[in-house]
Structure 1
Amino acid sequence: MTYSTAKSLVNLETLEIRYCHKMEEIVMKQDGEDDEDKEIFFSKLKLLELDYLRTLKRFSGHSYTFRFPLLECVTITQCPRLTMFCPGAIYASHLQSIRVRRDIVDHHRDIWMTDLNNTIQHRFMTQEHSSFEEIFPSLDQIIDFMGKIPPFKVLHIFYLGKLKSIWKDDFQLPPIHQNLRSLSVKSCCNLVKLAPSSASFENLRSLSVSGCHQLIHLVTSSTAKSLVSLEWLAINDCKKMEEIVMNETNEDVEGGITFNQLQRIVLTDLPSLKMFASQSLTFEFPELEEIKITGCPQMKKLGPGVLKTPKLSKVKIEGCDMEWEDEGDLNKTIEMLCSAKDSVN
């Protein structure tokens, strides 16, 4: 489309372009047109999908300013020549998900960086397994971007083989994570720390980590105290993980640690896991209903501290199930089920 046509699309809510095998750009400049100081306002666009456009190089090759005040999701599939969105400024304050797939054997990955151009450039100009060693920079650096990074609720980090940290280990964590509700990390085999000890995730509801073989622990006790909204916790295939919560101070945690909303815990294929927490911490799980532990041969109890699980009704350890009608002793149950399995073997 031309600039004038794009300017007229003020009520457009969805833009999907597929299988146009000679298309090189979406918005083009008309002959003799000056693109300086020109703005295109897609005032109602919420969804943008670009699929199977083998020759597409960019959304626009001209320095227009694009404004997408309601855009929430961008999906790009098999556009192998796409290396940038546009050379001009982009404003998309509600953008939460950028899903890209380079070729037919690749998987969709949700990626969020500082802006749409940076995300496309890094996704399409690097190898399939990214060379990123970190994702979010230090607090001082992030301040410069705060006008461009909207709050986001979902963060999926997959197949970053060289990733060592997600956030810089600053004293004060950048505030861009504060609205995060779902965090999923998969196959980041060199990740050594999920978050700095100062990290706080009051709004996080689901946390899933798998295939991260350098993690020794999941979170520190100070970060665990902030997980007041967490409802679902799943840890899978982390070969070196020895405990879920590490007490970084080696002192009693005042008031203990209460997972107010946690309903389900799934721990799978963690060969080094010994306990949920190795130190004598008090844990309260007022809403926990189910815990499942499979492939954790060294784990014989949850921890040496006090455990309170008033609603726990189902425990499954290495394929052995136990259901409670009243509150039971979780540590004794884990020990008993592990002993029962060992005797069978």
Structure 2
Amino acid sequence: MTLVKPTTPHSSSGIFPVLNSLEISYARRLKEIFHGELPTGSLKEIRSLKIEFCSSLEGIFAFEDDEEMFNFQSLTELTLSTLPSFTGISKYISNGSEWLLEDISPEQSDIIIQPLFDTKVHFPVLTKVYIISLNLKEIWNSQLSAESFCELKYLGVTGCHKLLRLVPTHMQNRLQKLECIYTSYCSSLEEIFEFRRLTVDDEGDAAALTISESRNQSRQAFQNLREISIFSCESLRTLLSPSIARGLVKLQRLKIKDCEKIEEIVAAAEGEETEDDNLFPQLCTLTLEDLPNLSSFSQGRYNFKWPLVKDIKVLKCYNMKRFCLGSLSTPKEVKIDVQGASKSVLQVLNNSRNRI
């Protein structure tokens, strides 16, 4: 079932040319919303698109021609929620046949991954994205148009249990205006910011290798990110690489809760004995809660000078023996709450007061 199928794609009359907001809910038989190329001027004023609880929906667009594209020139907010059959923003239909991920053989399915966002649909002014309960392994195509997602400020992902990574390396410099990341209940999520890749040697053994990172690149990515909140992502082991951490110069709120495998927040840089950079200089609140395998905030010798921090909570982190290896400085007024962690963690935090 299709919601809209234009009969004359090159008509001068666009579809919904003055519509500001479109919400589709509980359309259980709907498989696609737009079929074929839309006339010029279609959806040119739409600013908010919300699609939820459509059990058969496979995509927003079904294109018949490989050259067809669409530009959401005014869309600023997109919500996709509880769409179990959704394979991507668009799909390609040729001679009445659909190319879908489920048509791939089991042997190919581990090699070919269909991202949520592809090269056919552009999002030049999108600022907020909410992705909830979708069966996807990847969010972003590596060949997106140059203007897409450069204005994104909020990224929220919940209940996507097949998702492996949130922000791959090819997206990191594109998301320079991102201000908030919220992720929860993504049981397979291994990385928020990709900094490891899986390689297979000649004998078929897999190994994780750290992707090379430069200090100059780290200064460019995520320099406007102010909040990171991660809840119930049980496969996550490390939150930030050293490169990404150095770039978070405006981070104010960091909250990690109920991630049972996470071992450290900032990974140690290989081969570095000391680090002069001050990480997270604008941090205001830090919450680490119910992280049973967390051994420390960081094993790297970094400086954590936090003159603006007001609240630090470390709760039910039973394996945490130390807070960090580097230096820590906080103001006298900071509120510190440590429960379910080593006494040395509380001691280090208390001793950090008045060092600014």
Common topology (TM > 0.5): yes
> In the TM superposition, what are the counterparts of 1:282-321 in structure 2 within 5 Å?
282-310=303-331, 312-318=333-339
Match of 1:191 among 176, 189, 194: 189
Contact 2:266 2:300 in 1 (8 A): no
- 2:180 corresponds in structure 1 to 182
Whichever residue aligns with residue 136 of structure 1, its letter is W
Deviates more, 1:283-292 or 1:95-104: 95-104
TM-score (norm 1): 0.68
Offset of residue 155 of structure 1: 1.1
Identity of paired residues, percent? 26
Contact 1:96 1:153 in 2 (8 A): no
Offset of residue 178 of structure 1: 1.3
Whichever residue aligns with residue 35 of structure 1, its letter is P
Contact 1:317 1:334 in 2 (8 A): no
Contact 1:221 1:253 in 2 (8 A): no
Contact 1:97 1:112 in 2 (8 A): no
Offset of residue 296 of structure 1: 0.2
CA distance, structure 2, for counterparts of residue 131 and residue 53 of structure 1: 21
Match of 2:52 among 77, 83, 86: 77
Offset of residue 265 of structure 1: 0.7
TM-score (norm 2): 0.66
**How many residues in Structure 1 have an aligned counterpart in Structure 2?**
282
- 1:19 corresponds in structure 2 to none
- 1:92 corresponds in structure 2 to 72
Match of 1:262 among 263, 273, 283: 283
**Pair 1:217 & 2:217 matched:** no
Change (3 A) 1:331 1:39: farther
Structure 2: 5+ residue stretches without partners: 85-114, 124-132, 196-212, 352-356
**Higher strand proportion, which one?**
2
**Pair 1:113 & 2:134 matched:** no
Change (3 A) 1:131 1:75: closer
RMSD: 3.6
Q: After superposition, what is the alpha-carbon deviation per residue over 1:173-202, rounded to whole angstroms, capped at 9, x for unaligned?
A: 553311111112222223222213446311
Change (3 A) 1:95 1:43: same
SS of 1:332's partner is helix
Match of 1:40 among 7, 14, 18: 14
Change (3 A) 1:315 1:174: closer
Offset of residue 264 of structure 1: 0.7
Whichever residue aligns with residue 100 of structure 1, its letter is L
Deviates more, 1:226-235 or 1:91-100: 91-100
Match of 2:347 among 318, 332, 344: 332
Contact 1:266 1:292 in 2 (8 A): yes
Offset of residue 136 of structure 1: 2.6
Structure 1: 5+ residue stretches without partners: 1-23, 105-110, 120-127, 321-328, 337-345
Contact 2:300 2:326 in 1 (8 A): yes
SS of 1:175's partner is coil
> In the TM superposition, what are the counterparts of 1:141-180 in structure 2 within 5 Å?
141-142=143-144, 145-149=145-149, 151-169=151-169, 173-180=171-178
Q: After superposition, what is the alpha-carbon deviation per residue over 1:34-90, rounded to whole angstroms, capped at 9, x for unaligned?
A: 333555175654321123344445444453235444533211233334433344643
**Higher helix proportion, which one?**
1
Q: After superposition, what is the alpha-carbon deviation per residue over 1:212-259, rounded to whole angstroms, capped at 9, x for unaligned?
A: 233222102221111111111111112221211112234145432232
Change (3 A) 1:231 1:39: farther
CA distance, structure 1, for counterparts of residue 45 and residue 9 of structure 2: 24
- 1:15 corresponds in structure 2 to none
